């Protein structure tokens, strides 16, 4: 079901430029109708191809040039169109029209991405996710180039190439793809203590999301809001998913990477095609400029959050994604974001990471998209027509009329005119800036551990365990003992027990750190380098744990029905209707994809067979009622496949519902299933089975029972 949002200026603009081939004749790029596209022009039936074959040469030349350089980071991604609706005016803080007029709906395009992997890499890498939003506002494009983690690895953009070189596959053998579990990454991290807060997030389950639709988005930096009076406030941006924040288990992530490396891309596409539009609340944390120094950290430091307990997030709007792109390359690949694409009412702060980003993004588009005219690619065009004196360059689209391409001019009547601020002309915030030219980190950026501790201490026990296991996994892949040692010594500054546990699994000792702090210049005066660590205002933040997320919906959750011929069709259909009524998506998994004849003679068509998918691709399983079906599922050919489905789902803490007559399967499944009280395992003995199943799916997983389930 495709919904074309009414009054979406951006999708209307794209529709006008899109071409359908329906009932059309094949042509060359010059519009010449082609009579034969099957054979080259040759000298005789068996002779050589003729140089003259301009149709062949045009087609082949275009093909040879089809690829463009992928993004240097965030190459792997997927996106969709949508709309931003403001629910509460922010006119007190900003004059940006799309944030003040609650009547206005602003078209958006969001591109989600991983960071490390190439364009064809798996969606399920353990990695930060990009969450880049382009707002096509009436005052010009505004890009909020965000991530699903609210802090960053480094404090100064000059370190970005180093970080990315360390993270990317190692240059001698280009191994590993889309993974941080290797020597160079951890070598760099172990020498850059400012990364420790981000490392806590990246090693947590946040970096293996269940879906793009179940991720938070964060603008990371403190930006500035400027209101009509010219008064500035600092602001941090947030997106909060209506479906809650959920993740998969690391074992699942690895298996999904094999079974369906497009898992997140497919999930986003299918949800939108099914009309289950992903939604986020949009929120802001606003801080008056005069309160800039009120925190135990520097607002300009991108390795710090403002805990929600200290400054609450005010929800002021919603973003809904409601239309898939028509063409992946033209829209998702060619979209070009830039944190410097702002509108009046939004301005920058002096965060040194943000300042560097303001240079990097346009520069990268020039090499990636090949021309300063990248803004003319349809997905990048603003909904407002562009009027200026910039001319020519590769692939220029806009045809500017007249002789005048300079300002001031009299020959063009002075056009285009500069806009006054009252007419929406952008003027930078008049911040007073002074000081000596220095190349050094501010002392207010020195505390690298307090918020790493805050994050770790705010996690639930299962989350702490996952984080620890992630560190053990990653550092076990590091081959150089000294790097492992430096890392566990870093961890000891966050949590002694965590460091000791990781060290034990790695076979190294936690030692006192004796290493240069890379962010401090070699010739700095030691007297000025005493730690500025201050106790944080809060030791625990509920918002940081995914345990406290929304768990009241099964909307768009995928439930696999495993069945074979002779299944209880009526029971399956009844449960299917109940689940679909609550928004879940049911897919039938057969012993093959051949239609299944149920006990009552009805026919059900499987979408998958036991060999084309795995339980990791589903949120829950229903083992269909019916003794005949059970017999087939337990025959020599299918038994190990069915049991591996169930045992994997069990291990990954999902809900499994055993229908009437499936005891033979239940009894052969993981024995621990029959030994523990478990709200997510539903058997025929249970009362109100469907409700129990629905509650379990809504709760996502029983992470609390992970140890029992894996014992
Ligand atoms: Fe970046 C892409 C987010 C720091 C330089 N970045 C890129 C994308 C996202 C982010 C979501 C993908 C956009 C898309 O989908 O096309 N980047 C961030 C965040 C950062 C950050 C949240 C820290 C708060 N980035 C950062 C720094 C630099 C860059 C410090 C360089 C100084 N980022 C780039 C880039 C990319 C990019 C090289 C690659 C492709 C692109 O820009 O368009 O310019």
Residues 564-611 pLDDT 10s? 999 999 999 999 999 999 999 999 999 999 999 999 999 999 999 999
Q: Residue 512's pLDDT is what?
A: 74
Cβ pair 79, 121 in contact under 8 A: no
Nearest CA to ligand 1 atom 27: 357
Cβ pair 560, 618 in contact under 8 A: yes
Task: Please report, rounded to a whole number, the percentage of residues in the chain having pLDDT higher than 90.
Answer: 94
Q: Cβ atoms within 10 A of the Cβ of 238, count?
A: 21
Ligand 1 centre distance from Cα of residue 338 (Å): 8
Residues that are catalytic: 74, 147
Tell me if residue 197 falls in helix, strand or coil.
Answer: helix
Q: Residue 537's pLDDT is what?
A: 65
Residues 259-318 pLDDT 10s? 999 999 999 999 999 999 999 999 999 999 999 999 999 999 999 999 999 999 999 999
Residues 380-422 pLDDT 10s? 999 999 999 999 999 999 999 999 999 999 999 999 999 999 9
Residue 523 has pLDDT above 50, yes or no: yes
Q: What is the mean pLDDT of residues 15-23?
A: 91
Q: Nearest CA to 575 among 655, 634, 460?
A: 655
Mean pLDDT of all residues in the chain?
Answer: 95
Confidence of residue 539 (pLDDT cuts 50, 70, 90): confident
Whether 130 is in the pocket of ligand 1, judged by its Cβ within 6 Å, is: yes
Q: Residue 525's pLDDT is what?
A: 47
Mutation to probe ligand 1, out of 69, 71, 219, 334 (largest number of atoms < 8 A from CB): 71
Enumerate residues 6+ apart whose C-beta is below 8 A from 527: none
Whether 355 is in the pocket of ligand 1, judged by its Cβ within 6 Å, is: no
Whether 356 is in the pocket of ligand 1, judged by its Cβ within 6 Å, is: yes
Residues 680-706 pLDDT 10s? 999 999 999 999 999 999 999 999 999
Cβ pair 196, 493 in contact under 8 A: yes
Residues 216-261 pLDDT 10s? 999 999 999 999 999 999 999 999 999 999 999 999 999 999 999 9
Q: Residue 530's pLDDT is what?
A: 40
Q: What is the mean pLDDT of residues 37-56?
A: 97
Q: How many residues does the chain have?
A: 711
Ligand 1 centre distance from Cα of residue 116 (Å): 12
**DSSP code for 316:** E
Tell me if residue 452 falls in helix, strand or coil.
Answer: helix
Q: Distances in Å between the alpha carbon of 223 and those of 55, 197, 285, 340?
A: 53, 20, 10, 11
Ligand 1 centre distance from Cα of residue 389 (Å): 29
Q: Residue 1's pLDDT is what?
A: 42
Mutation to probe ligand 1, out of 70, 114, 130, 222 (largest number of atoms < 8 A from CB): 130
Mutation to probe ligand 1, out of 78, 145, 332 (largest number of atoms < 8 A from CB): 145
Residues 458-479 pLDDT 10s? 999 999 999 999 999 999 999 9
In words, the CATH class of domain 459-517+530-547 is mainly alpha
Residues 147-195 pLDDT 10s? 999 999 999 999 999 999 999 999 999 999 999 999 999 999 999 999 9
- CATH fold of the domain at 551-709: Rossmann fold (3.40.50)
Task: Please report, rounded to a whole number, the percentage of residues in the chain having pLDDT higher than 70.
Answer: 96
d(CA 27, CA 463) in angstroms, rounded, equals: 58
Q: What is the mean pLDDT of residues 452-457?
A: 97
Residue 514 has pLDDT above 70, yes or no: no
Residues 700-711 pLDDT 10s? 999 999 999 998
- Range list for CATH 1.20.1370.20 in the chain: 459-517+530-547
Whether 220 is in the pocket of ligand 1, judged by its Cβ within 6 Å, is: yes
Ligand 1 centre distance from Cα of residue 188 (Å): 19
Residue 69's region, left for phi above 0, alpha for psi from -120 to 50, else beta, is beta
Ligand 1 centre distance from Cα of residue 262 (Å): 22
- Range list for CATH 3.40.50.880 in the chain: 551-709
Q: Residue 389's pLDDT is what?
A: 97
């Amino acid at each position: 079901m495709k919904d074309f949002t009414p009054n979406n200026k951006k999708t209307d603009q794209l529709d006008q430029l899109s071409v359908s081939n329906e009932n059309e004749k094949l042509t060359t790029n010059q519009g010449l109708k082609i009579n034969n596209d099957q054979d080259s022009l040759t000298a005789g039936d068996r002779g050589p191809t003729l140089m003259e074959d301009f149709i062949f040469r045009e087609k082949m030349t275009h093909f040879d040039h089809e690829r463009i350089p992928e993004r240097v980071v965030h190459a792997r991604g997927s996106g969709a169109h949508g709309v931003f609706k403001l629910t509460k005016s922010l006119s007190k803080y900003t004059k940006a029209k799309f944030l003040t007029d609650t009547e206005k709906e602003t078209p958006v395009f969001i591109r989600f991405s991983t960071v490390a992997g190439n364009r064809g890499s798996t969606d399920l890498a353990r990695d930060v996710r990009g969450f880049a939003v382009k707002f096509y506002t009436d005052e010009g494009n505004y890009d909020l180039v965000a991530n699903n983690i609210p802090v960053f690895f480094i404090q100064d953009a000059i370190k970005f190439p180093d970080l990315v070189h360390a993270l990317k596959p190692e240059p001698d053998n280009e191994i590993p793809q889309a993974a941080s579990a290797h020597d160079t990454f951890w070598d760099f991290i172990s020498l850059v203590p400012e990364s420790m807060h981000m490392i806590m997030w990246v090693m947590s389950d946040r970096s293996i999301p269940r879906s793009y639709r179940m991720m938070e988005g964060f603008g990371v930096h403190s930006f500035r809001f400027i209101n009509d009076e010219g008064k500035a406030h600092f602001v941090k941006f947030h997106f909060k998913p209506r479906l809650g924040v959920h993740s998969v288990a690391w074992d699942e992530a690895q298996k999904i990477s094999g079974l369906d490396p497009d898992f997140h891309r497919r999930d986003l596409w299918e949800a939108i095609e099914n009309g289950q539009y992903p939604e986020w609340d949009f929120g802001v944390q606003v801080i008056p400029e005069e309160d800039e120094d009120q925190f135990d950290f520097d607002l300009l430091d991108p390795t710090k959050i403002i805990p929600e307990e200290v400054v609450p997030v005010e929800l002021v709007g919603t973003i809904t994604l409601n239309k898939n792109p028509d063409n992946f390359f033209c829209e998702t690949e060619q979209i070009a974001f830039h944190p410097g694409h702002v509108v009046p009412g939004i301005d920058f702060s002096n965060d040194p990471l943000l300042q560097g980003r303001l240079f990097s993004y346009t520069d990268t588009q020039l090499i990636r998209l090949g021309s300063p005219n990248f803004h003319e690619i349809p997905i990048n065009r603003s909904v407002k027509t562009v009027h200026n004196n910039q001319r020519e360059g590769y692939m220029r689209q806009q045809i500017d009329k007249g002789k005048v391409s300079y300002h001031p001019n009299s020959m063009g009547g002075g056009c285009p005119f500069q806009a006054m601020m009252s007419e929406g002309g952008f003027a930078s915030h008049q911040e007073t800036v002074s000081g000596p030219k220095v190349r050094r980190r501010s002392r207010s950026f020195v505390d690298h551990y307090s918020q790493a501790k805050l994050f770790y201490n705010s996690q639930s026990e299962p989350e702490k365990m996952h984080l620890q296991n992630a560190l053990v996994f990653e550092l076990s892949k590091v081959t150089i003992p000294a790097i492992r040692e430096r890392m566990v010594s870093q961890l000891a500054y966050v949590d002694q027990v965590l460091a000791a546990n990781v060290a034990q699994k790695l076979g190294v000792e936690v030692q006192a750190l004796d290493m240069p702090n890379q962010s401090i210049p070699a010739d700095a005066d030691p007297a000025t380098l005493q730690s500025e660590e201050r106790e944080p205002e809060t030791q625990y933040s509920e918002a940081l744990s995914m345990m406290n997320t929304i768990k009241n919906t099964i909307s768009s959750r995928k439930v696999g029905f495993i069945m074979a011929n002779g299944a209880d069709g009526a029971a399956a259909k009844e449960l299917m209707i109940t689940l679909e009524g609550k928004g879940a998506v049911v897919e039938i998994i057969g012993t093959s994809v051949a239609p299944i004849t149920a006990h009552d003679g009805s026919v059900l068509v499987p979408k998958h067979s036991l060999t084309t998918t795995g339980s990791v691709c589903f949120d829950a399983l229903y083992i269909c009622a019916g003794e005949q079906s059970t017999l087939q599922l337990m025959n020599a050919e299918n038994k190990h496949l069915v049991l591996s489905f169930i045992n994997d789902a069990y291990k990954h803490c999902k809900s499994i519902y055993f229908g009437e007559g499936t005891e033979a399967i239940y009894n052969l499944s993981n024995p621990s299933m029959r030994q523990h009280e478990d709200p997510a395992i539903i058997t025929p003995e249970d009362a109100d089975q469907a409700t129990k199943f629905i509650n379990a799916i809504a709760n996502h997983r029983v992470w609390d029972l992970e140890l029992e389930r894996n014992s």
